[in-house]
Amino acid sequence: MSKALEILKDVWKYDNFRFPQADIIEAHLQGHDVLALLPTGAGKSICYQVPALVREGVCIVISPLIALMKDQVQQLKRRGVNAGAIFSGISEYEIDRVLNNCAMGHTKLLYISPERLASPRFLTALKTLPVSMIAVDEAHCISQWGFDFRPSYRNIATVREYFPDVPLIALTASATLEVQKDIIQSLELKKDVKVFRASFERPNISFVVREHTSKSDRLLGILQKVNGVAIVYALNRKRTEEVAKYLSEKGMTATFYHAGLNADERSKRQDDWLRNKVRVMCCTNAFGMGIDKSNVRIVVHIDVPASLEAYYQEAGRAGRDGKRSYAVLLFNEKDKDKLYKSVEEKFPKFDFVKLVYNALYNYLNISFGGGKNHSFEFNITQFSRRYKWDALQVFNALKLLEQAGYLVLGEAFYLPSRLKFEMERTDLYRFQVANMQYDGLIKAILRTYEGVLHFITKINEFDLAKIANLHPNDCIKMLRELNEKGVLIYIPSSEKPRISFLEERIVEDKIRLDFEWINFIKSQMNKRVQGMLDYAEADSSTCRQIILRNYFGEESPERCGVCDNCLRVNQLTQVNAEELRLRILKKMTIYDEYGVSINVLVESLGNTLKDQYLEMIKVLLDEHQLKWIDESKKYISLV
């Protein structure tokens, strides 16, 4: 542990580990398998990155998101740690280069997607590496009970067969007791597995639910009251753009972020927000993974997520600096139908799934018996437009085919431009002498990129153009010409999603889906939706953090004291609550079934205790002694 602490100070510049990082690392270094449940912002990555640097050999990190892998690798390299990543779409040259670096001891952490473990070629290469440990990030993805189940995570157990004595650490920010048990069983964690659970309590975050028919107006009011950096989560891309536009029109600096933007645009928007050039980031759940910004004062969900796991993970990006922050959920009656409808939409009819399967192979020109172990660039929007289908329904059909083991959907990822000379040095020199117009560019390439004569190498055309004293457009044009002449291989940068086939094409009538499993998954999704609704509609006397802690299996009766419900209770205890109750009910007896507006009622009772009266009215509504009599929720009457 002294070595681990030394690495923490040298690489991360921290003097001490956070609780329970030190206990987790110590158990792992002693050779135990470990399951660590740490809330968002608790420093999960350090729990495997530090022991990876303590141990001799390479740590295999299995992660579900390409964007997250790339972010982790970049952060490690900035700290002087050699790390690499292998994911779908990168060339065989690059895969070989990364694996060679691991074999030679140059790379300490190798990030891979779980789908990579289905490749026999990769597994053969993996067996030859000096693997020191295995880390499974977002481990809840392995559980069919989990909110983000990934069938490819089941391949991880195979790796354990190759390295039975190598310790494994599984990490997640959100797992119920059922999911925890499933992780231990599915990853075949050893009998002496050590399980560490940090408390899910966030004492500095005030969890709040606000009901309103006009969510945009309520959002604006909240952001005007709470100063500081903000994140607003929405469920789809269009919604993020609409919200950002609305806030901008109201005078706030706001931008949007989602997976549909290209890499440069996403990077710029993220950078503007990180540097506080923009106050509000309106985004889908594509934003947030690996983002290290401690001073987020408020996270607002303008749409209700489909599970408390997702909500807690995203809300937890507020207040990582320990200062008072807010996690606000905007909710109304329409959200219930939307949530349950979204579950049904995830399971399109079997006939439609077969149509999509057949159309997909035709679209990619793959004949019967072909496609297995091949990967293709795939734009789901263009595909859906070709066949005049709803893109979301197509996506859900493809996800069912993925879960059945026919294919793998890859997320969009950015690949920088790459280059390698095809000519030997002698032939290249002769070409330069005979074609002097390319001489300056070739010399600039050779001076700037070591190894380009032997390996596919990442390049930056704009940097290269500056060195060769060329306009960037001329530089790119010349690189393409050299590619056509066979002097070099030039692969321009790209960012495209891919689809990979695990099985050969069959007649669509032979497709088999496990409907028993599908019905089980659907029931689990509905169960999680109900958990989310139970949180949103909680009785006004119930502490919201107690609801969250209980959901994740942490029994704690202590009220947080800072959520909206706790503050409401605190306000009411400052006066005689029973007296307030009697005053309101007595006053309501003078109004008939047409009721009265809340504002008129409070004015008639006297404005000196306005806030307390409003809180007691909410309590009486929860207790069904009062009821709403209009959709705008302005008028009430006795029940």
DSSP string, 47-89: HHHHHHHHSSSEEEEE-S-HHHHHHHHHHHHHTT--EEEE-TT
List beta partners, residue 415.
494
Per-residue pLDDT band for 168 (boundaries 50, 70, 90) equals very high
Q: Is there a domain that residue 537 lies in? A: no
The mean pLDDT value for 358-385 works out to 91
Q: Is the pLDDT score of 633 beyond 90? A: no
15 and 140 in one domain? yes
Statement: residue 595 has pLDDT above 80: yes
**464 shares a domain with 409:** no
Nearest to 632 by CA among 590, 598, 591, 587: 598
Helices (H), 226-292: 237-249, 263-274
The pLDDT, as a whole number, for residue 149 is 66
421/363 same-domain check: no
Does any domain span residue 546? no
Is residue 439 located within the same domain as residue 410? no
Q: Is the dihedral of CA 138, 143, 149, 151 positive or negative?
A: positive
pLDDT value for 573: 65
> Does residue 612 carry a pLDDT above 70?
yes
Question: Residue 75 pLDDT more than 70?
Answer: yes
Report the percent of the chain where pLDDT is more than 70.
95
Find the mean pLDDT for residues 300-308.
94
Same domain membership, residue 191 and residue 210? no
Domain co-membership, 57 together with 129: yes
Range with top average pLDDT, 87-101, 366-380, 486-500, 593-607: 366-380
Asked if residue 280 has pLDDT above 90, the reply is: yes
Query: Across residues 161-172, what is the average pLDDT?
Result: 90
Residue 343 has pLDDT above 80, yes or no: yes
80, 185: one domain: yes
The owner of tokens 């706001």 is 254
Is the pLDDT reported for residue 413 higher than 60? no
Residue range 89-131, pLDDT digits in tens: 677 778 888 999 999 988 999 999 887 887 777 888 888 999 9
Residue 566 lies in a domain: no
**Residues 5-52 pLDDT 10s:** 999 999 999 999 988 999 999 999 999 999 999 877 678 899 999 999
From 485-494, 532-541, 608-617, the region with the lowest mean pLDDT = 608-617
| Neighbouring-strand partners of residue 509 | none
Distance of CA 602 to the CA centre of its chain: 45
> Can you tell me the mean pLDDT for 77-87?
90
pLDDT at res. 282: 96
- Cβ burial, residue 544 (10 Å; 0-12/13-18/19+): buried
Amino acid making up residue 399: K
Residue 367: inside a domain = yes
In SS3 terms, 320-372 reads as CCCCCEEEEEEECCHHHHHHHHHHHHCCCCHHHHHHHHHHHHHHCCCCCCCCC
Task: Please name every residue paired with 499 in a beta bridge, in sequence order, or none if there are none.
Answer: 376, 409
Instruction: List the single range of 133-142, 188-197, 566-575 with lowest mean pLDDT.
Output: 566-575
Mean pLDDT is lowest, of 87-91, 240-244, 612-616, for: 87-91
CATH number of the domain that 583 lies in?
A: 1.10.10.10
Whether 445 and 506 share a structural domain: no
Lookup: tokens for 186: 């599915």
For residue 223, being part of any structural domain is answered with: yes
Confidence tier at 575 by pLDDT (50, 70, 90): low
φ, ψ at 41 (rounded to 5°): 90, 0
74: CATH: 3.40.50.300
Q: Which of 298, 314, 332 is the C-terminal boundary of a domain?
A: 332
At 53, the pLDDT band (50, 70, 90 cuts) reads very high
Contact 306, 236 (CB under 8 A): no
Domain count along the chain: 5
Instruction: Please compute the mean of the pLDDT values over residues 54-76 and round it to a whole number.
Output: 86
Q: Are residues 621 and 488 in the same domain?
A: no
Task: Summarize the confidence of residues 628-634 as an average pLDDT.
Answer: 81
Q: Dihedral of CA 153/159/164/167: which sign? A: negative
> Given 154, 178, 197, which residue is the final one in a domain?
197
pLDDT at 574: 61
CA 321 to chain centre: 21
Arithmetic mean of pLDDT, 399-421: 80
When pLDDT is averaged across residues 586-599 and rounded to a whole number, the result is 82
As a whole number, mean pLDDT of residues 362-375 equals: 91
pLDDT at 526: 92
User: What is the domain-level CATH number for residue 473?
Assistant: 1.10.10
- Please check whether residues 488 and 632 belong to one and the same domain: no
359 and 468 in a common domain: no
Question: What integer pLDDT is reported at residue 268 of this predicted model?
Answer: 86
Is residue 27, in this structure, part of any structural domain at all?
yes
The pLDDT of residue 404: 86
* Predicted local confidence at residue 608, as pLDDT: 65
Confidence band (pLDDT; 50, 70, 90) for 628?
confident
What mean pLDDT comes out for the span 414-418?
A: 73
User: Where does a domain end: 298, 332, 366?
Assistant: 332
Helices in 1-65 by DSSP H: which ranges? 2-7, 21-29, 46-54
Give the CA dihedral 536, 537, 540, 543, nearest 10 degrees: -40
- Looking at residue 88, what is its pLDDT? 65
Pair (178, 307) in one structural domain: no
Domain that holds residue 352: 341-414+496-524
Q: Tens digit of pLDDT for each residue in 530-539?
A: 999 999 999 8
Examine residue 545 and state whether it is found in any structural domain, yes or no.
no
Q: Which residue has the higher pLDDT, 361 or 203?
A: 361
What pLDDT shows up at residue 191?
A: 77
- On whether residue 109 sits in a domain, the answer given is yes
- Distance linking the first and last C-alpha atoms of the chain: 65
The edge-to-edge listing of strands for the beta sheet with 626-628 is 596-597, 635-638, 626-628
